[in-house]
């Protein structure tokens, strides 16, 4: 879709962008819970913050006096240690594939709970770079994470992309809805509409692949869909459906992690 | 109640009133044609000078029939832009009277372009929320790239709203884009836009006229909630061969028409293709880009005998878009209609239609040497039988049935390594109907009817039944004033799954299923019309209130193109829409045109969205204004201008932000609680008609779209500021500032 608009614009010469001032509706500050348990050695972190109005440039308020516990379905449970700055840390928990983890947060007289099951790891084999010329002579790079999806259906993969050690604020999510049980050939839908995001030769590409559970998959799919359209476009934006109870925003995710790095030719 | 029993009752009810009046009468019937081309004329008013109550209009095939007691009468034939014809008759037996009307322009220079079949049709007919558009009107109105466009012109009418800059999708009285039944010679067109909606599939050279009915459609139409856009293709000149065409900035058109049997039957073939990409490919940057669309319309009619005529019409159009071998996409409609007109008796007219229509979409990507294709299609086979029975001078009865067999394939993935489990759905959409156009007195007209529709889903062995009553009444207060009242129920069995506002080729249709129920709309409307200055000025105003049931939306985060089972992603709810429309037309003089304004509200309430509270639908527009002016400067020069203003689309802006895993994420509050900036624009065009050289006529049109270069919002995206990532910028994209155009048209 985006491609089509680009071509149309190129053909019919006309389209322009400008920054506009909008009047935003009042924002209701909500509690944000970020929790991750991975298959890597701990400690694992839970972070509790609050949202701020869109136009604010202040820092995000943190909650440092919450009670945070994580338990698994193998009988382990622990209360996390506050670290300040909204962070809480595990001491003994060992993230294991196939286990279901339950997070409980007691903060500001409310209790929030969340559950996530760590999927079995799908090994991340390598990063493949494809060079194509789409429009004009400019070389574009397709970044294709290579992994073999298992036969069982319902797998979700999240990719965290960094270019020259800078985290890219875009959401890359793949699943096996369309192709199941095969080696992946789909590129990451990297948006380089802004010139400063264009990839160049010798750029260092680093990708962390996460095998995430379906609920986390839906969360990031929603974010990716919203980012692709925006108001006036297609999908009406909304707070992505998450796995935390009681109206808190954010996500608790138990997932595997594996990172690969390459340099663009 | 069994359906046969029901049909009997239905027909009985419709016939009982008319049959009460009896007389010993004779019938005059015939066909009305245009004298220069021999094309039949639809909607010609046939009235009897001596009997103001008697009067009918010609049907889609130019046929009319009036029954009167024995006597001497004068028949008056009147039609927009044509010289009125008065024919004296001596009625002693049944009579056939075929008439030809000549173009008024040959008689006088005052050109009537704003359509009305007769000067005061708005006062005398029961039809409500109906606008008729002839292509003559559309041809003078400025449009982007100078590509005259039926749908773009319709969007200038009150109650019909464009879905955004450039968009060809339209919303009628708060309805969604898919709630418009778009018919091309009776065949449904499932995606009426080209190039993502910048152009409609209707090549104006091949179109005779179009009628839009905003919810109060007669019983013979059904299947969509909001409106019927009934487009008729030209039949072709049955007297002489004629070639016409045009060369524009982005496309060219060519039409050939002529007689098959002189004065009896004719054909027309019309084609259009865009060529922007041919020029673009000259530049090396766009060498590998293909982007074009084309349309081909063909129609022929065959005269069998005085009472029987066959018509064939076909349409084929396609969009092609590809870049190298990396990306390719094709989509298009094809339709074919075979019709058999039969004048069974001077009072009974029959039309049988066999209709095929198809919409295909295909997009393919290549990545890492592996191909992936997504495609969807919908195919219909459709049988329609319609009878018009001209009972007497105050009752015209219509009845018939319609059976449509749908084959629907929602978006399906194919390619290397893909095992697709999606299957085509079948659906059988049926309807029987009867209606009567009744004139109980000189100043009262009532059209009433009933449509009984039933949709069968063979896969789940489920049938949905719906009764759809329709009534409109017109009461004439005086010679210059009338009030109107209408109620209609419409149902819809096909639903468009779309993740765009303006209509996109990726939109896919699905039919009713066990879980998806027919959408139902009930609309009540009230209207008032007044004519001034001897019918030169016409004021029409209507208010409407509409409720909608079984409306469909998606769950948050649903990717409707890849999800294996789309039904699991749907949410259901209801809608309501109300508004006030006003249209002031100036139909005579050197300056013609209209001012249309709509004040309206459209809301939805869907279980699972916006905490189950009412929210503004995307297409909700508070204000919508259009002004159209056409001025005959000299006999050769015509100037025209349009101005539009509309409230921005209802959208959802973020209200807050937070950080999750080092990424900034936006927080949202109520759905569609914000507005894009209003859209307004002035367009201008000038047409010069060159003096004819023998048979050769030609004209030049010059246009300027968006005269004052307003940057109307197309979309808004939110981005972190490059210098200060803590600051979020709203970036607005606009299309089309100052687009000049020039078009050359010819005819010989």
> d(Cα B431, Cα B518) in Å, to the nearest integer?
14
Q: Single out the residue in A57, A91, A117 at which a domain terminates.
A: A117
Whether residue A244 is contained in a domain is answered as no
Number of domains in chain A: 2
Band (pLDDT 50/70/90 cuts) for residue B496 is confident
SS3 (DSSP) at B179: helix
B714 at the A interface (CB within 8 A)? Answer: yes
- Considering only residues 593 to 612 of chain B, which have any Cβ-Cβ distance to chain A shorter than 8 Å? none
How many CA atoms lie less than 13 Å away from A116 in the CB half-sphere?
33
Q: Residue B210 in contact with residue B230, Cβ under 8 Å?
A: yes
Band (pLDDT 50/70/90 cuts) for residue B116 is very low
pLDDT at A57: 87
Q: Does the distance separating the beta carbons of B657 and A51 come in below 8 Å?
A: yes
Largest CA distance in chain A: 64
Q: Which position has the higher pLDDT, B17 or A247?
A: A247
Q: Does the distance separating the beta carbons of B276 and A11 come in below 8 Å?
A: yes
Q: Which of B571, B656, B725, B734 should be substituted to probe chain A, the one whose Cβ sees the most A Cβ atoms within 10 Å? A: B656
Q: Residue B584 in contact with residue B559, Cβ under 8 Å?
A: no
A120 at the B interface (CB within 8 A)? Answer: no
> What is the pairing mode between strands A139-147 and A124-133?
antiparallel
Band (pLDDT 50/70/90 cuts) for residue B15 is very low
- Considering only residues 548 to 567 of chain B, which have any Cβ-Cβ distance to chain A shorter than 8 Å? 555-557, 559, 562-564
CB atoms within 10 A of CB B703: 26
Please give the C-alpha separations between residue A94 and each of A3, A72, A124, in angstroms, as whole numbers.
44, 10, 21
Residues of B in contact with A238 (CB under 8 A): 556, 652, 668, 671
- Average pLDDT in the B531-558 region? 87
Which of A12, A178, A237 has its CB closest to that of B276? A12
CB atoms within 10 A of CB B170: 29
Residues of B in contact with A223 (CB under 8 A): 665
**Domain that residue A66 falls in:** 31-117
**B207: which 2 tokens?**
């179109």
Residues of A in contact with B681 (CB under 8 A): none
B571 at the A interface (CB within 8 A)? Answer: no
SS3 (DSSP) at B246: strand
Same domain, A73 and A160: no
Residues of B in contact with A9 (CB under 8 A): 735
DSSP conformation class of B98: -
Angle at B155 between CA B150 and CA B158, to 5 degrees: 130
H helices present in B70-186, as ranges: 121-124, 135-140, 150-154
Give the CATH number of the domain where residue A96 resides: 2.60.40
B50 at the A interface (CB within 8 A)? Answer: no
Residues of A in contact with B669 (CB under 8 A): 25, 27-28
Whether residue A246 is contained in a domain is answered as no
- Average pLDDT in the B525-551 region? 91
Same domain, A40 and A97: yes
A196 at the B interface (CB within 8 A)? Answer: yes
Q: Does the distance separating the beta carbons of A233 and B501 come in below 8 Å?
A: yes
Which of A12, A51, A236 has its CB closest to that of B656? A51
DSSP conformation class of B82: B
A66 at the B interface (CB within 8 A)? Answer: no
- Count A/B contacts: CB-CB distance under 8 Å: 250
b/e map B529-545, b = 16+ CB within 10 Å = bbbeeebeebbbbbbbe
Question: What ipTM does the predicted assembly reach?
Answer: 0.91
Structural domains in chain B, sorted by start: 3-106 (2.60.40.1120), 121-230 (2.170.130.10)
Residue whose pair of structure tokens reads 């409500």 in the numeric block: B128
Band (pLDDT 50/70/90 cuts) for residue A232 is very low
- Nearest-neighbour CA in chain B from A17: distance (Å): 4
B9 at the A interface (CB within 8 A)? Answer: no
CB atoms within 10 A of CB A258: 18
pLDDT at B95: 85
Q: Residue B447 in contact with residue B465, Cβ under 8 Å?
A: no
SS3 (DSSP) at B579: strand
Q: Which of A167, A171, A231 should be substituted to probe chain B, the one whose Cβ sees the most B Cβ atoms within 10 Å? A: A231
pLDDT digits (tens, 9 = 90+) for B602-649: 999 999 888 899 999 888 889 999 999 999 898 889 899 999 999 988
SS3 (DSSP) at B285: helix
Residues of A in contact with B327 (CB under 8 A): 3, 134
Same domain, A131 and A219: yes
| 3-state secondary structure string across A170-222 | CCEEEECCCCCCCECCCCCCCCCCCHHHCCCCCCEEEEEEEEECHHHHHHHHH
Same domain, A130 and A184: yes
B672 at the A interface (CB within 8 A)? Answer: yes
Same domain, A94 and A172: no
Same domain, A44 and A60: yes
Q: Single out the residue in A117, A142, A171 at which a domain terminates.
A: A117
> d(Cα B28, Cα B30) in Å, to the nearest integer?
7
Give the DSSP H/E element, type plus range, for residue B217: none
Instruction: Please spell the DSSP secondary structure of B501-548, one letter per residue.
Output: SS--TT-EEEE--SSPPPEEEEEEEEEEEEEETTTTEEEEEEEEEEEE
Same domain, A225 and A198: yes
Angle at A84 between CA A81 and CA A89, to 5 degrees: 30
Q: Residue B606 in contact with residue B549, Cβ under 8 Å?
A: no
Whether residue A21 is contained in a domain is answered as no
Nearest residue of chain B to residue A132 (CA atoms): B326
pLDDT at B337: 95
B664 at the A interface (CB within 8 A)? Answer: yes
> d(Cα B22, Cα B24) in Å, to the nearest integer?
7
Which of B195, B660, B715 has its CB closest to that of A250? B660
Q: Which position has the higher pLDDT, A212 or B250?
A: A212
The residues near A182 (Cβ < 8 Å, ≥ 6 apart) are A148, A149, B417
Whether residue A150 is contained in a domain is answered as yes
> d(Cα B586, Cα B122) in Å, to the nearest integer?
13
> d(Cα B123, Cα B476) in Å, to the nearest integer?
7
Same domain, A140 and A191: yes
pLDDT digits (tens, 9 = 90+) for B18-66: 444 445 788 888 889 888 888 888 888 888 888 877 778 888 888 898 8
> d(Cα B144, Cα B162) in Å, to the nearest integer?
14
Nearest residue of chain B to residue A29 (CA atoms): B656
Q: Does the distance separating the beta carbons of B649 and A1 come in below 8 Å?
A: no
Angle at B113 between CA B110 and CA B118, to 5 degrees: 90
Q: Give the whole-number percent of chain A exceeding pLDDT 90.
A: 60
> d(Cα B211, Cα B232) in Å, to the nearest integer?
9
Q: Single out the residue in A69, A85, A117 at which a domain terminates.
A: A117
pLDDT digits (tens, 9 = 90+) for A76-94: 999 999 998 999 999 999 9
Residues of B in contact with A29 (CB under 8 A): 656
Residues of B in contact with A180 (CB under 8 A): 419
pLDDT at A15: 66
DSSP conformation class of B240: S
Q: Give the whole-number percent of chain B exceeding pLDDT 90.
A: 33
Same domain, A145 and A100: no
pLDDT at B499: 63
Same domain, A106 and A129: no
A85 at the B interface (CB within 8 A)? Answer: no
Residues of A in contact with B285 (CB under 8 A): 10, 135-137
Whether residue A80 is contained in a domain is answered as yes
CB atoms within 10 A of CB B379: 17
A131 at the B interface (CB within 8 A)? Answer: no
Q: Does the distance separating the beta carbons of B668 and A142 come in below 8 Å?
A: no
Same domain, A110 and A132: no
B539 at the A interface (CB within 8 A)? Answer: no
Q: Does the distance separating the beta carbons of A137 and B284 come in below 8 Å?
A: yes
Whether residue A219 is contained in a domain is answered as yes
| 3-state secondary structure string across chain A | CHHHHHHHHHHHCCEEEEEECCCCCCCCCCEEEEEEEECCCCCCEEEEEECEECCCCCCCCECCCCEEEEEECCCCEEECEEEECCEEECCCCCCCCCCEEEEEEEECCEEEEEEEECCCCCCEEEEEEEEEECCCCCEEEEEEEEEECCCCCCCEEEEEEEECCEECCCCEEEECCCCCCCECCCCCCCCCCCHHHCCCCCCEEEEEEEEECHHHHHHHHHHHHHHHHCCCCCCCCCCCCCCECCCCEEEEEEEEEEEEEEECC
Whether residue A168 is contained in a domain is answered as yes
**B216: which 2 tokens?**
């109060």
- Nearest-neighbour CA in chain A from B615: distance (Å): 12
Same domain, A168 and A184: yes
Whether residue A96 is contained in a domain is answered as yes
pLDDT digits (tens, 9 = 90+) for B319-376: 888 877 777 888 899 999 999 999 898 889 999 999 999 999 888 887 767 788 888 8
Q: Does the distance separating the beta carbons of A55 and B419 come in below 8 Å?
A: no
């Amino acid at each position: 879709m985006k491609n089509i608009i680009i071509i149309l614009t190129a053909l019919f010469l006309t389209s322009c962008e400008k920054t506009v001032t909008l009047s935003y509706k009042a924002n209701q500050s909500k509690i944000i819970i970020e929790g991750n348990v991975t298959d890597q050695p701990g400690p694992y972190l839970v972070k509790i913050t609050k949202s701020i109005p869109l136009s604010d440039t202040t820092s995000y308020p943190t909650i440092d006096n919450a009670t945070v516990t994580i338990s698994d379905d193998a009988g382990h449970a622990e209360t996390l240690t506050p670290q300040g700055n909204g962070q809480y840390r595990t001491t003994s928990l060992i993230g294991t594939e196939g286990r279901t983890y339950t997070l409980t947060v007691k903060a500001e007289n409310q209790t929030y709970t969340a559950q996530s099951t760590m999927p079995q790891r799908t090994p991340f084999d390598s990063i493949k770079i494809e060079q194509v010329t789409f429009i004009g002579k400019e070389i574009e790079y397709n970044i294709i994470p290579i992994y073999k999806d298992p036969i069982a259906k319902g797998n979700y993969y999240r990719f965290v992309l960094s270019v020259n050690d800078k985290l890219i604020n875009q959401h890359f999510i793949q699943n096996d809805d369309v192709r199941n049980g095969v080696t992946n050939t789909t590129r990451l839908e990297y948006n380089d509409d802004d010139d400063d995001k264009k990839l160049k030769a010798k750029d260092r590409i680093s990708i962390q692949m996460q095998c995430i559970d379906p609920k986390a998959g839906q969360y990031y799919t929603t974010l990716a869909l919203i980012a692709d359209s925006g108001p006036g476009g297609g999908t009406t934006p909304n707070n992505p459906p998450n796995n935390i109870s009681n109206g808190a925003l954010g996500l608790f995710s138990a997932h595997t992690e594996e990172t690969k790095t390459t340099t663009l030719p | 109640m069994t359906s046969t029993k029901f049909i009997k009752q239905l027909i009985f009810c419709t016939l009982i009133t008319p049959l009460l009046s009896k007389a010993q009468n004779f019938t005059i019937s015939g066909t009305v044609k245009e004298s220069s081309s021999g094309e039949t004329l639809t909607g010609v008013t046939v009235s009897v000078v001596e009997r103001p109550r008697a009067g009918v209009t010609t049907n889609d095939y130019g046929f009319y029939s009036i029954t009167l007691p024995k006597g001497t009468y004068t028949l008056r034939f009147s039609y927009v832009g044509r010289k009125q014809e008065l024919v004296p008759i001596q009625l002693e037996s049944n009579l056939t009277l075929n008439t030809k009307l000549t173009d008024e322009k040959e008689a006088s220079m005052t050109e009537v372009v704003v359509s009305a079949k007769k000067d005061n049709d708005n006062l005398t007919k029961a039809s409500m929320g109906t606008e008729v558009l002839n292509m003559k009107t559309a041809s003078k109105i400025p449009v982007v790239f100078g590509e005259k466009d039926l749908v773009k012109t319709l969007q200038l009418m009150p109650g019909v709203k464009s879905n955004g800059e450039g968009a060809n999708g339209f919303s009628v009285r708060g309805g969604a884009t898919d709630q418009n039944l778009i018919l091309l010679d009776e065949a449904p067109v499932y995606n009426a836009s080209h190039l993502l909606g910048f152009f409609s599939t209707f090549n104006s050279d091949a179109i005779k006229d179009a009628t839009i009915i905003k919810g109060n459609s007669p019983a013979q139409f059904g299947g969509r909630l909001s409106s019927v856009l009934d487009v008729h293709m030209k039949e072709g000149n049955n007297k002489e061969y004629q070639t016409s065409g045009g060369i524009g900035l982005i496309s060219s058109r060519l039409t050939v028409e002529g007689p098959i049997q002189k004065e009896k039957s004719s054909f027309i073939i019309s084609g259009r293709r865009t060529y922007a990409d041919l020029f673009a490919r000259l530049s090396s940057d766009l060498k590998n880009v293909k982007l074009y669309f084309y349309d081909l319309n063909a129609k022929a009619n065959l005269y069998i005998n005085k009472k029987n005529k066959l018509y064939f019409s076909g349409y084929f159009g396609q969009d092609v878009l590809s870049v190298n071998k990396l990306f390719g996409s094709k989509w298009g409609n094809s339709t074919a209609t075979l019709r058999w007109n039969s004048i069974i008796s001077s009072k009974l007219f029959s039309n049988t239609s066999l209709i095929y229509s198809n919409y295909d979409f295909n997009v393919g990507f290549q990545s890492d040497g592996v191909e992936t294709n997504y495609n969807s299609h919908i195919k219909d086979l459709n049988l329609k039988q319609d009878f018009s029975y001209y009972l007497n001078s105050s009752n015209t009865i219509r009845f018939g049935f319609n059976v449509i067999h749908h084959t629907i394939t929602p978006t399906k993935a194919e390619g290397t390594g893909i095992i697709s489990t999606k299957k085509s759905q079948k659906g059988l959409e049926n309807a029987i109907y009867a209606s009567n156009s009744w004139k109980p007195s000189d100043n009262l007209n009532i059209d009433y009817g009933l449509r009984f529709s039933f949709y069968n889903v063979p896969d789940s062995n489920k049938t949905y039944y719906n009764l759809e009553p329709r009534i409109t009444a017109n009461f004439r207060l005086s010679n210059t004033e009338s009030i109107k009242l209408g109620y209609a129920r419409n149902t819809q069995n096909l639903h468009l799954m779309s993740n765009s506002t303006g209509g996109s080729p990726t939109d896919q249709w699905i039919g009713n299923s066990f879980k998806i129920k027919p959408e139902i709309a009930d609309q009540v409307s009230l209207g008032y019309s007044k004519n001034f200055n001897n019918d030169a000025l016409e004021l029409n105003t209507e208010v409407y209130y509409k409720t909608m049931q079984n409306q469909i939306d998606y769950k948050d985060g649903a990717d409707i193109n890849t999800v294996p089972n789309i039904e699991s992603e749907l949410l259901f709810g209801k809608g309501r829409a109300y508004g006030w429309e006003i249209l002031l037309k100036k139909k005579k003089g050197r300056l013609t045109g209209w001012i249309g304004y709509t004040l309206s509200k459209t809301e939805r309430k869907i279980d699972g969205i916006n905490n189950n509270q009412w929210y503004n639908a995307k297409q909700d527009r508070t204000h919508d204004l259009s002004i159209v002016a056409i001025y005959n400067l000299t006999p050769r020069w015509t100037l025209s201008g349009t101005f539009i203003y509309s409230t921005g689309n209802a959208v959802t802006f973020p209200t807050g932000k937070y950080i999750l895993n080092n990424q900034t994420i936006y927080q949202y509050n109520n759905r569609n609680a914000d507005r894009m900036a209003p859209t307004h624009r002035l367009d201008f065009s000038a047409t010069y008609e060159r003096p004819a050289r023998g048979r050769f006529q030609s004209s030049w049109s010059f246009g300027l779209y968006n005269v004052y270069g307003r940057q109307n919002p197309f979309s808004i995206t939110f981005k972190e500021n490059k210098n200060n990532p803590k600051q979020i910028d709203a970036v607005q994209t606009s299309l089309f500032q100052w687009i000049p155009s020039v078009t050359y048209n010819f005819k010989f």
